[in-house]
A and B are shown apart, each in its own frame.
Chain A
Amino acid sequence: MKRSIIDILDLSTQELEELIATAEDIIADPDKYAHACDRKKLATLFFEPSTRTRMSFEAAMYELGGHVISVSSAMSSSAAKGESVADTAKTVSCYADIIAMRHPKEGAAYVAATNATIPVINTGDGGHCHPTQTLADLLTIWREKRRFEGLTIGLCGDLKFGRTVHSLINAMSRYNGNRFVLISPEELKVPSYVKKGSLKKFNIPYTQTTDLEAVMPELDILYMTRVQRERFFNEEDYLRLKDSYILTPDKLKNAKPDLAILHPLPRVNEISVAIDDDPRACYFKQVLNGKYMRMALILKLLKEAGTI
């Protein structure tokens, strides 16, 4: 049956574990998957630019033996001519076997998914959801820790608008024994609906602080985020807050030796490049993990749709 992924919570914990198992199998034996999607086509519809995510999906599909067709620029696409997302989804369904879509408006992927006759993967709908980033985060946590339970997870930076932060909280709240440390400026705290929807719902302990260094020794995972310019309504607020939380080697002095540092990338300056060679820096591994999880997800959805 055709199925789309809009939100990370569209996947059960069991399905997540299956995706992780597939991803690790791909890593162990990529040749086994080199023709898994022969002659199948992925359509990448990016109504706002995101070179990294698009490249990751393209690489994923090529490594599965499939092809990629794309509408890369919103200006040259039919969107500029006023075609609706619904019509675009129906049209592209005639050409491709699966869609990866990014759109600046929240809920756009849902509209595409309800109108397409092929699976749709949401690769970012405004500030709403970006589930494949969370898949990359989860595989990274798994490969570094070999468990999803009993972890102290620090989230730092823009916790208000950071959709990847919200998705990670939602995903990790489903496991036992985790604890969150929410590190952000007052203005960029985790919104109450996220706390209510998962932390409080599952009785997950959490603390909120503005001081990254003070909580560093407790952390098993440190998830850094960028303070994004486009999420602010005024420039002044952005300039005042963007440098609030910068990770430097100095701040890592009291960190655990097996801390895993994650970041959804791209970074601006919130992680000093001096940390890149530290074995605890996992953010480039995370990029690679993202490709493997996208491969696993494409495989799963095409199998469920009966395409492969």
Chain B
Amino acid sequence: MNIDSIQNGVVIDHITAGQGMKLYHLLKLDETDLSVAIIRNVVSRKMGKKDIIKIDADIPVNLDVIAYVDPGATVNIIRNGALVEKRQMELPEMLTDVLTCKNPRCITSTEQELKHVFRLTDRENKVYRCIYCETKAGI
């Protein structure tokens, strides 16, 4: 994989420096066998430093995850070597199976088949709470 030019794939750009690896795991890219490049601490005029993730396949990525972890990131969809779509992030109302509830008293700790769902309760402060026990989410 040539990390400079992708023919068909997804480039997640403007990731806050240091968040790239976290996103890589939360997007479950470690569970795929796709070619993925994580480029860390790229010098950026706007941000000082940034991370970039390039995925060499046109796969759907969970934009909610990116919006939650790093709302400043941008997602570029590349087809036939050209940028066909640029997406800005917006905090999602719900996060399903992205985070797990850390409250040991939560029903999700004993009932394995339940989806872990978090609802945005405070947009300004980016607070998500478990829909079951209302515990605040933390990565």
Contact = CB atoms under 8 A, between A and B. Distances in A.
Interface string A77-104: 0000000111000000000000000011
A232 B16 CA distance: 40
Interface string A101-119: 0011111101100000000
Q: Give chain B's interface secondary structure class.
A: loop
B108 A107 contact: yes
Contacts of B131: 107, 110
A105 B107 CA distance: 5
B96 to A, nearest CB: 14
Contacts of A84: 111, 113
Interface string B91-131: 00000000000010111111101100000000000000011
A126 interface: yes
A192 to B, nearest CB: 11
Nearest to B131: A110
Chain A: interface residue count, which band? 10 to 19
Given A110-B132, A128-B134, A193-B136, A105 B105 contact: yes
Chain B: interface residue count, which band? 10 to 19
Given A110-B131, A128-B134, A193-B136, A105 B114 contact: no
B133 interface: yes
B111 to A, nearest CB: 5
B111 A106 contact: no
Contacts of B134: 106-107, 128
23 contacts: A84-B113, A85-B107, A85-B111, A86-B111, A103-B107, A104-B105, A105-B105, A105-B107, A105-B109, A105-B133, A106-B105, A106-B133, A106-B135, A107-B130, A107-B133, A108-B132, A110-B131, A111-B107, A125-B107, A126-B105, A126-B133, A128-B133, A193-B136
